[in-house]
């Protein structure tokens, strides 16, 4: 039987699709403040939601024991609780589904010898990344069940960034199988795109910081941050030492996220400009042009998200835009790499 066949490619692309769906649901879960509604972690039995009023009341009583209810949602009744419970429950179910969709076909392909040795090694890395992503989800939720009624923005950033990186690597492995032929590479162009990839990941991390600190609900102006002042004049010094303002202060984190947006746009325009002077393939052209269009749309979505103070639907669309922009970056980097 042929190794690394179309079935293997479809399996990897299905994994990419499920991660994409999970990121969307995760964004909704965060923006609706639903992430702490399931206060306990049950790997198997947690897949089934409460099935009757008694079980719902038990889940609600458990939720009442933790800071989010006691400090923020003390006005909630059972129906309010059901609404936030739904999003966290489906987020966790999709996570379990991704695990099954990866492990079961992987074992089947392994037993039937449909995977080459390089693909087996890459699949094991993906297995580790998926398991680590699940651990980080539990680790993140745990931070909101002790004293503060919210999760750590550092842990949120780790959880979200690992999801993006897991998708990126899964997509990369699929592209390795879709385009198995080797080619000559312009190393300068490849390294420049690598720089764009690293800065984009840093921007995604700061997007998670903004989400975790609810920093999108302040400075709802553009291109100035507020009050007719320039951006650097509105970064309020809240903490000492100074650097903490740019990783823990709402104003500082939003300022960095805005600044990195300009850097990402500038880098992608530079990639597009450099590409025009090269002899490139059809897929390389598609990748760079998609990057250029994608970053323009994503920048506009970021501006609108800030101006309208992060409505749920717009916040989710902005997160989807980041996901699609990363996809375009991975595809472009792959096409300019060996």
Residues 219/306, Cβ–Cβ less than 8 Å = yes
Of the pLDDT bands very low, low, confident and very high (cuts 50, 70, 90), residue 233 is very low
Cα 168 from Cα 322, distance rounded (Å): 12
Q: State whether 110 and 227 are in the same domain.
A: no
Q: What is the mean pLDDT of residues 16-38?
A: 89
Q: How many separate domains does the chain show?
A: 2
Residues 188 and 332 in one domain: yes
Evaluate whether 217 touches 48 at the Cβ level (below 8 Å). Answer: no
Q: What is the pLDDT of residues 253-273, one digit of tens each?
A: 999 999 999 999 999 999 999
Q: Are the C-beta atoms of residues 303 and 312 closer than 8 Å to each other? A: no
Contact 40, 62 (CB under 8 A): yes
Specify whether the CB–CB gap between 41 and 88 falls below 8 A.
Answer: no
pLDDT attached to residue 232: 44
Check whether residue 212 and residue 315 sit in a common domain. Answer: yes
Q: Do 26 and 135 fall within a single domain?
A: yes
148 torsion bin: left (phi>0), alpha (psi -120 to 50), beta (else): beta
Rounded CA-CA distance 288/34 in Å is 37
Residues 71 and 174 in one domain: yes
State whether 265 and 168 are in the same domain: no
pTM for this one?
A: 0.91
* pLDDT band, very low/low/confident/very high, at 318 (cuts 50, 70, 90): very high
Q: Say yes or no: 104 and 121 in one domain.
A: yes
pLDDT value at 148 more than 80: no
Do 309 and 233 lie in one domain? The reply is yes
User: Which residues are registered as beta bridge partners of 226?
Assistant: 229
**Residues whose CB falls within 8 Å of the CB of residue 191, separated by 6 or more in sequence, listed in order:** none
Among 134, 163, 180, residue at a domain's last position: 180
For range 322-332, the mean pLDDT: 96
In tens, the pLDDT along 53-110 reads 998 998 888 888 888 888 888 888 889 898 889 988 999 899 999 999 999 999 999 9
């Amino acid at each position: 039987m042929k190794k690394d066949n179309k079935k293997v490619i479809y399996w990897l692309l299905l994994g990419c699709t499920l991660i994409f769906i999970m990121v969307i649901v995760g964004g909704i879960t965060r923006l609706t403040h639903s992430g702490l509604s399931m206060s306990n972690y049950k790997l198997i039995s947690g897949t089934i939601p409460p099935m009757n009023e008694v079980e719902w009341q038990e889940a609600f009583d458990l939720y009442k024991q933790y800071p989010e209810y006691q400090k923020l949602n003390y006005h909630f009744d059972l129906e309010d609780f059901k609404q936030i419970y739904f999003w966290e429950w489906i987020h966790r179910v999709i996570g379990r589904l991704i695990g099954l969709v990866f492990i079961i076909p992987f074992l089947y392909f392994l037993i039937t010898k449909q995977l080459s040795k390089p693909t087996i090694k890459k699949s094991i890395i993906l297995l580790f990344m998926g398991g680590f992503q699940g651990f980080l989800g539990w680790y993140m939720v745990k931070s909101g069940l002790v004293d503060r009624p919210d999760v750590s923005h550092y842990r949120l950033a780790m959880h979200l960034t690992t999801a993006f990186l897991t998708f990126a690597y899964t997509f990369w492995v699929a592209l390795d199988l879709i385009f198995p032929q080797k080619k000559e590479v312009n190393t300068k162009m490849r390294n420049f795109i690598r720089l764009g990839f690293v800065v984009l990941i840093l921007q995604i991390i700061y997007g998670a910081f903004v989400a975790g600190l609810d920093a999108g609900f302040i400075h709802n102006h553009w291109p100035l941050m507020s009050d007719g002042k320039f951006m650097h004049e509105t970064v309020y010094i809240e903490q000492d030492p100074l650097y903490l303002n740019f990783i823990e202060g709402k104003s500082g984190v939003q300022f960095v996220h805005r600044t990195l947006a300009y850097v990402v746009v500038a880098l992608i325009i530079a990639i597009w400009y450099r590409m025009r002077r090269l002899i490139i393939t059809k897929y390389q052209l598609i990748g760079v042009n998609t990057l250029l269009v994608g970053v323009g749309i994503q920048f506009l979505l970021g501006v609108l998200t800030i101006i309208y103070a992060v409505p749920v639907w717009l916040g989710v669309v902005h997160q989807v835009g980041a996901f699609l922009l990363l996809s375009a970056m991975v595809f472009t980097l792959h096409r300019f790499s060996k």
